[in-house]
Structure 1
């Protein structure tokens, strides 16, 4: 069943989903010039042991980078905590002053002023006296009410600040614990790496290969991945117009809409947008999204799944299970950094409040996304 207006809405949603590209499909003839960047051949391991050794060397590099990130975050958290602690002390001092003023107001009300005002009321001789007494009572009591209200408001603000300070302390403690754990892991991985180099048949050759691989990844590999994401984002901006000419991908079904996107259709679309996007392929199958590309001197392969989430908001988040650079598996830290930097999640409520994702499935050669109506 072909649809027009609802179809356009969902086609736009799909464009948002794909606007931040799936990790793993990395062409390497992109904007920074991969042919020049990777002129130096990537070392090829002669055995599984050598491959594992090279993968550990990349893991050590990425762990060092992650340690720098965690340490920087810990320092930022410490600075924020110090500033919050100082602010809390200032609030406590202000609250003591407000408390004293509120106490004086209550004391005046309950130990004399009330009786004085009531006596004054009984002594009025005319309507003018009455109005003056009422105005005076309102003025005095308004000041007292204001002092008490300010005390209550600042008491609540102080309690909120104390809770925030505890949350920041917990976050800092978690960062410190994470830093210690990652340091221990890095030290152990480096120990294994050095042990593996020493036990290899040619330690000097192993060191050269490790240095060569690390140089390629650090100097150009990571930057090329970043450049690719930008290139893909530009191409995906053209997807809605392309999909309007292919409305058969949108179906109205019981309870909502379904999008079925074939992998060959996605690959054809991207190849039309830029020649540099012709060097890779998406594949949907076996319950996973898989993508890979090569320019002859460098290759990347990735796989993962989409999951429906309802907290903190409804949508689809991508979870990358594996990332392979020139045949070498990259560690979890690399995948986590990519997903932190590029949110490839999809949250329909941000754009159309009455739709929500109810399921996402990867079928053979198709990505299937079902939408329901939010109540």
Structure 2
């Protein structure tokens, strides 16, 4: 009984040794060189810019279809306007030539009350019809002009999208060439290609989901920030018409952790004119750098802009940052805190986020 057991144990140990040997024999790029990191970063940029090209292409098709529909509508409206212009012109000529004055004279020259009332009703009916014709002409003219403006705007938007598409395609060609050159020049191109594939798959299957999940949680938390500020003693100081809000980074971190346990693994720090978010959860390391600005269109708000996005040590391109800003609103809206104020200034200094508000009764 002992020998079979020893034999089985020997087989298990031998298997473990073989697995360990095969793993040790594989080239490991757990800590890639600076050049390998650059190649990996360019590869991720290619993936993200490729997604942006796909999005822009879809937007281009939508705009093209919209432009065609608007031009078709405009052609129909222009045909209708030709007919209505003749009708409106006929009405205006009748007034200019004094035909309506003659009709009024006939009404006033009625020989009996019954005839007067009949002619007067007819006169009012005719005048009312004239007004309807002119109002319809005016309304349709405004609609036509509005459609013309929409066609012009759609054409301009389409040209902008086309230009953006060409620029992104140029970027991806240059990046792809740089990646190919870097891989071919590396000591172990096959291993590097495999690492690129693994990193790309990890980003698309795990990274995108995790980054979006954290940005979504942050956007939801920001909706409760006005209520949190109201509860903080001394957070708001009033000096005449100016209200200054000061949020310390330790209070901000405490607020976020109370909102969502995802932020237990991350830390927000306020520096000179920038905010840094950094942390790790599982195999994902994330670093976000950004800043706030005061915007007045379409409404007064303090909006967050992503300046850098680093995923597992690899910086993602501007297309990814722009998409996150568009998809997730990390802004702060002062009028949710006090209805009759507007933000005029925002700044971050060491450890503190400051917002200045002014009373606005408009």
Which TM-score band (shorter chain)?
0.7 to 0.9
CA deviation after TM superposition for structure 1 residue 287, in Å: 2.2
For residues 73 and 248 of structure 1, what CA distance do their matches in structure 2 show? 48
Aligned length: 334
The residue aligned with 1:81 is 67
CA deviation after TM superposition for structure 1 residue 286, in Å: 2.6
CA deviation after TM superposition for structure 1 residue 200, in Å: 1.4
Please list, as runs of the form range in 1=range in 2, the aligned pairs for 1:350-361 lying within 5 A after superposition.
352-361=338-347
For residues 107 and 370 of structure 1, what CA distance do their matches in structure 2 show? 62
| Contact 1:304–1:319 (CA under 8 A) maintained in structure 2 | yes
The residue aligned with 2:43 is 57
* Structural RMSD (CA): 2.4
Match of 1:252 among 235, 238, 244: 238
Structure possessing the higher radius of gyration over alpha carbons:
2
CA deviation after TM superposition for structure 1 residue 112, in Å: 7.6
SS of 1:368's equivalent in the other structure is strand
CA deviation after TM superposition for structure 1 residue 311, in Å: 3.1
For residues 315 and 79 of structure 1, what CA distance do their matches in structure 2 show? 34
Match of 2:180 among 172, 176, 194: 194
| Contact 1:43–1:212 (CA under 8 A) maintained in structure 2 | no
| Contact 2:214–2:262 (CA under 8 A) maintained in structure 1 | no
CA deviation after TM superposition for structure 1 residue 214, in Å: 0.6
CA deviation after TM superposition for structure 1 residue 121, in Å: 3.8
| Contact 1:260–1:366 (CA under 8 A) maintained in structure 2 | yes
Is 1:282 the equivalent of 2:240?
no
Is 1:158 the equivalent of 2:158?
no
Which piece of structure 1 moves more, 260-269 or 159-168?
A: 260-269
| Contact 2:219–2:330 (CA under 8 A) maintained in structure 1 | no
Is 1:203 the equivalent of 2:195?
no
Q: Do the aligned partners of residues 272 and 350 (structure 1) sit closer, same or farther apart at CA in structure 2, a change above 3 Å counting?
A: closer
For residues 307 and 317 of structure 2, what CA distance do their matches in structure 1 show? 10
CA deviation after TM superposition for structure 1 residue 163, in Å: 1.1
Please list, as runs of the form range in 1=range in 2, the aligned pairs for 1:157-236 lying within 5 A after superposition.
157-233=143-219
For residues 231 and 147 of structure 2, what CA distance do their matches in structure 1 show? 55
For residues 96 and 258 of structure 2, what CA distance do their matches in structure 1 show? 83
The TM-score with structure 2 as length reference comes to 0.85
| Contact 1:314–1:356 (CA under 8 A) maintained in structure 2 | yes
For residues 360 and 112 of structure 1, what CA distance do their matches in structure 2 show? 67
**Long gaps (5+) in structure 2:** 1-27
The residue aligned with 1:99 is 85
For residues 135 and 281 of structure 1, what CA distance do their matches in structure 2 show? 80
The residue aligned with 1:34 is none
User: What do residues 109-156 of structure 1 show as CA deviations (whole Å, max 9, x unaligned)?
Assistant: 455843652552464212332222222211112212211221122112
CA deviation after TM superposition for structure 1 residue 55, in Å: 0.7
Of structures 1 and 2, the one with the larger relative CO (CA 8 A, separation 6+) is 1
The TM-score with structure 1 as length reference comes to 0.82
The residue aligned with 1:17 is none
